[in-house]
Amino acid sequence: MNLQTVDSILIIIRRSNGDVLLASPLIQRLQETYAGAAIDLLVNDDTLAIAKALPHVRNIHAYSYQWKQLPRLRRLRTEAAFVGALWRRYDLAISLSTTDSSVLYALLFGRHSISAIDDEPRKSWWKKRLLDGYYRLDGGRHTLLNNLEALRLLGIAPGRIEPAIRHTPAADKRVQDKLQARGIGRFIIFHPSAQYRYKVYPEHLRHELLKALAGLGIPLVVTGARTPLDLQIKASLPVLANVHDLIGETSLDEYIALSSQALAYVGGDTLNMHIAAAQGKRVFAIFGPTLLKLWSPWSNALQQAASVSQPVQTYGNVTLFQADMPCTPCGQAGCDNRHGDSECLYRIDPAIISAEVRGWLQQQGLIDDEN
């Protein structure tokens, strides 16, 4: 499939925040190849904030989950209006999601269409017939690399792969004011939360880690949103010198600005981790059941992510921590696969994490050997 002239492109990413951020190298390469083309996104409304932070995007269309709660006739009218507004508007539509509705959107909104598809013939036979190009979603390949498969179908080399994220100058100023008000100069981000509880490092271990990191002499800025889980973590934070609680006090735009000013990121495998990695920050990531080969932080410097599980491993600017258990990682949502506890997170020693952070700070000359 070789398109010589493309003036408008729609990329459909109806998945998680991380999927949206990790689509940025695809957007960048399309922008370089089709100079002057307008690139729009179609995302779920709960990922709208991160979509707005991606460079080279003109417009963003949001699918709302609330439409499903509408009375049947009103829902049909709402979705029909949505389809009517975007009908055949784009020269090229690319769906990074395999769901039937996402593939249909690519077919309806683009004069040419490409999509990821599932490996099951029962689900995908009609997609193969109707799409101009398709690729099978590889469950053993990093999400970022899967997202770039559309380039191969277009005959475009991927080039250098670097996720990108941006923030506004106004957010920079607000963050600087917050830090200045607290007397914070150089600092490390500590991000204890995640979208789901089964990814969260247990409270007693988290507090041990915070205490050890606080003793290193570099201020820790604890971050989070205003979700019930984040606010629960905020309420239980220990009061420690060098620990500054900003949970619930930054927008996503401000968080991206804050991360850009940090020395390093310490925390779980969540969107914030991918933001730090995209910015080339030093990342210390605590992984539970999440599959590394799909979701490990991408190192821009080394042009790679992790694929093999180890209790501690470092590649480029990234250090990952996992439990030394035969079932790690399992890819489930907790041990019960119902968002319950993840035993593997209880098996990661906070002393090992703090030792790695300390060693890096000493290496950089940011603390002396006595800390």
Same domain? 133 vs 268 = no
Q: Nearest-5° angle of CA 305, CA 311, CA 317? A: 40
Q: Is 144 helix (H, G, I), strand (E, B) or coil?
A: helix
Q: Which domain holds residue 214?
A: 169-363
CB atoms within 10 A of CB 73: 8
pLDDT given for residue 371 in this prediction: 65
Same domain? 105 vs 194 = no
Same domain? 199 vs 249 = yes
Task: Quote the number of domains for the chain.
Answer: 2
CB atoms within 10 A of CB 327: 11
pLDDT given for residue 3 in this prediction: 82
Domain edge (last residue) among 153, 177, 204: 153
Q: How far is CA 226 from CA 10, 48, 107, 235, 276, in A?
A: 31, 17, 38, 12, 20
Instruction: Specify the pairing of strand 220-222 against strand 110-117.
Output: unpaired
Same domain? 121 vs 199 = no
pLDDT given for residue 123 in this prediction: 83
Same domain? 185 vs 211 = yes
Put residue 336 in one of left, alpha, beta given phi > 0 → left and psi -120 to 50 → alpha: alpha
Same domain? 145 vs 247 = no
Q: Decide if 141 is inside a domain.
A: yes
Q: Decide if 164 is inside a domain.
A: no
Q: Decide if 214 is inside a domain.
A: yes
pLDDT given for residue 337 in this prediction: 96
Same domain? 142 vs 220 = no
Same domain? 193 vs 320 = yes
Domain harbouring 345, CATH code: 3.40.50.2000
Same domain? 206 vs 351 = yes
Same domain? 180 vs 275 = yes
Same domain? 135 vs 200 = no
Amino acid in the structure at residue 225: A
Domain edge (last residue) among 95, 121, 153: 153
Q: How far is CA 164 from CA 23, 161, 201, 269, in A?
A: 9, 10, 27, 18
- The rounded average pLDDT for each run of 10 residues, N- to C-terminus, in the chain (371 residues) is 88 96 98 95 96 98 92 94 96 96 97 94 91 93 96 95 97 97 96 95 97 96 96 96 96 98 97 98 98 96 95 98 96 95 97 98 89 65
Q: Decide if 247 is inside a domain.
A: yes
Q: Decide if 2 is inside a domain.
A: no
Domain edge (last residue) among 153, 183, 214: 153
What are phi and psi for residue 220, nearest 5 degrees? Answer: -110, 130
Same domain? 249 vs 202 = yes
Q: Decide if 230 is inside a domain.
A: yes
Q: Nearest-5° angle of CA 27, CA 33, CA 36? A: 85
